[in-house]
Amino acid sequence: MTKAKKRDLLTIFDLSLEDVLFLIQRAAQLKSELRANIPCDALRGKCVALIFEKASTRTRISFEVGVFQLGGQPLFVSAGTTQMGRGEPIQDTARVLSRYAHMIMLRTFQQKTLEDLARHASIPVINGLSDLCHPCQVLSDLLTVAEHKVKGDWRSDLDALLGGMRGLAFAWIGDGNNMANSWMAASGTVGFKLTMACPEGFRPNETFLQRATAMDGRIHLTASPDKAASGADVISTDVWASMGQEQEARSRLEAFKGYCVDAALMKKTGPGSIFMHCLPAHRGEEVADEVIESPASVVWDQAENRLHMQKAIMEFLIKHS
Q: What is the distance between the alpha carbons of residues 229 and 236, in angstroms, rounded to a whole number?
A: 10
Residue 262's contacts (CB-CB under 8 Å, 6 or more residues apart) are 287, 288, 290, 291
Q: Give the C-alpha separation, 219 to 3, whole Å.
A: 38
- Residue type at 212 in one-letter notation: A
Work out the number of other CB atoms within 10 angstroms of the CB of residue 307.
22
What three-state secondary structure class fits 200? coil
Catalytic residue list: 107, 134, 137, 238, 278, 306
Residue 272 neighbours by CB distance under 10 Å: 9
C-beta separation of 160 from 150 below 8 A: yes
DSSP string, 210-229: HHHHHTT-EEEEES-HHHHH
Alpha-carbon distances of 39 from 29, 116, 157, 186, 262, rounded to whole Å: 12, 35, 24, 30, 41
